Amino acid sequence: MSHFARVKNGVVQEVIVAEQEWIDWAVSTGYKDGNWHQTSYNTFGGVHYEPNSNPKVASADQSQALRMNFASKGMLYSKEGDAFYDAQPYPSWTLNTTTYQWEPPVAQPDDDNEYSWNEETQSWDVYIRPK
């Protein structure tokens, strides 16, 4: 069994686990409209990772990395890139079409702090947890 995403007008409508034969039947009978694309559960940013690895370990078999990111309802699908990706989180962020991940105009600091993006100042603010 594999994961399949049903895409309509460039937006993922649902993700199901099914056999290819069922997908073919659903399309041929009109049971489910839209286009179906297989998606890989352990794929993120164009890399397939070993299941349950923490920290993440890239799989030896990268042929399993399907469509850049594992699809979920509401994600977008690029026909040109054959890739699933999230909606743009902030107007200043740009889509990296190599990974289909959104990138901020300024890299997030690499330290032990937690940060949130501040679109107004175009910078990262240290996140302070409420007490």
- Tell me the pLDDT tens digit for each residue of 37-94: 999 999 999 999 999 888 899 999 999 999 999 999 999 999 999 999 999 999 999 9
What mean pLDDT is reported for the chain? 94
Is the pLDDT at 1 greater than 90? The verdict is: no
* Calpha distance 61→47 (Å, rounded): 10
Q: What residues does each domain of the chain span? A: 1-86, 88-131
Is the pLDDT at 98 greater than 90? The verdict is: yes
* Calpha distance 111→115 (Å, rounded): 10
| Structural contact between residues 77 and 105, judged by C-beta atoms closer than 8 angstroms | no
Closest CA to 61 of 42, 84, 79, 82: 42
- Higher-confidence position of 15 and 52: 15
| Structural contact between residues 3 and 21, judged by C-beta atoms closer than 8 angstroms | no
Output DSSP code: residue 105: S
